[in-house]
Amino acid sequence: MSVHTTIRRITVPQLRSFKGHRKIAALTAYSSVMASLMDEYLDFILIGDSTAMVAYGQPNTLAFTVEQVAAHTAAVVRATQRVCVIADMPFASYHESPEQAFRNAAYLLAQGGADAVKLEGGSVMAPTIEFLVQRGIPVLAHVGLMPQHVNTMGGYKAQGLDEETARIVMQDAKAVEAAGAFGVVLEGVAHTVGTDVTQAVSIPTIGIGASASCDGQILVTEDMLGMNGTRVPRFVKRYTDLDAQIKRSVERYADEVRTGVFPDMSHCFGVKRDA
Ligand code: KIV
């Protein structure tokens, strides 16, 4: 018996074809609730390793496992129908060898249901990207500021502010393009570098702190929804202030529970509802 399913999701080749035609809009998500709210509006959702910080309170993105990414990816896949779903490869899950990368990326596609994976690294990771792509795993690369390199960078430092690092970002972007990546995230780079790289490569550039000239943009959802405290990175635009709304609601709830205002009879069973 053969089973045919209709593919409704935005595919990787479609994402790639948007370059030069329309901008790509993406955000991170790690839960079904959030992903279901985004499905209608975005081109792709990234289950970023930023989940380690946002959902688990880790100080950086390093303490995150393939199993965790797969579980969060599966939650996002279950809640969505049309958006492309991309899973981030955690620190140390792809650095040892192309074979290690393949095993873990395949797990994220097979068990998590991701459509593609993202990994950090330019020229150094090019052979790994090529290995994955040739074996059926679409790769979104990530160059410029690479948060998994926080310890070697000594913090989160914008890249490409001088000629030497601008040259490295360009070289990295060209290397991942040549290796077969279908797109490249450009994080925390000088706006001129964002523009130059976008013009120089044939694959979409997805900017996060890399200027409006990129082919698309991505942000960490909690940052743009104002759910991440008061420290707002320069490249983030806050579209609302959910922190304040949530705090007000929780305060009111606690108050109403303590004063007996909630629940009232309309929240009780065995009570006739008004027609
Ligand atoms: O982990 C993450 O959230 C990312 C960004 C590109 C949004 O890698």
Task: Summarize pLDDT for 158-199 with one digit per residue, the tens.
Answer: 999 999 999 999 999 999 999 999 999 999 999 999 999 999
Of 47, 185, 217, 237, the one to substitute when testing ligand 1's pocket (max ligand atoms within 8 A of C-beta) is: 185
CB 26 within 8 A of CB 51: no
Residue 187 known to be catalytic: yes
Per-residue confidence at 230, pLDDT binned at 50, 70, 90? confident
Q: Choose, from 164, 187, 251, 256, the residue flagged as catalytic.
A: 187
Label residue 188 left, alpha or beta by phi (over 0 means left) and psi (-120 to 50 means alpha).
left
Poorest-confidence range of 119-123, 166-170, 266-270? 266-270
Q: What is the rounded average pLDDT of the residues 33-54?
A: 97
Domain residues of the chain, as ranges? Answer: 12-240
Per-residue confidence at 232, pLDDT binned at 50, 70, 90? confident
Label residue 22 left, alpha or beta by phi (over 0 means left) and psi (-120 to 50 means alpha).
beta
At the topology level of CATH, where does 12-240 sit?
Answer: TIM Barrel (3.20.20)
Nearest to 47 by CA among 23, 17, 26, 25: 26
Exposed e or buried b per residue across 9-42, where buried means at least 16 C-beta atoms within 10 angstroms of its C-beta: bbebeebbebbeeeebbbbbbbbbebbeebbeeb
Per-residue confidence at 271, pLDDT binned at 50, 70, 90? confident
Q: State if residue 28 touches ligand 1 by the CB under 6 angstroms criterion.
A: yes
pLDDT at 2: 59
pLDDT tens by residue, 3-29: 666 658 999 999 999 999 999 999 999
Q: State if residue 112 touches ligand 1 by the CB under 6 angstroms criterion.
A: no
- C-alpha distances (whole Å) from 117 to each of 13, 162, 272 are 14, 30, 52
Q: What are phi and psi of 172, to 5 degrees?
A: -65, -45
pLDDT at 6: 64
Whether residue 274 has pLDDT greater than 80: no
Q: State if residue 146 touches ligand 1 by the CB under 6 angstroms criterion.
A: no
Percent of the chain with pLDDT over 70: 97
Which atom of ligand 1 sits closest to the CA of residue 61? 1
pLDDT at 231: 80
Q: What is the rounded average pLDDT of the residues 27-41?
A: 98
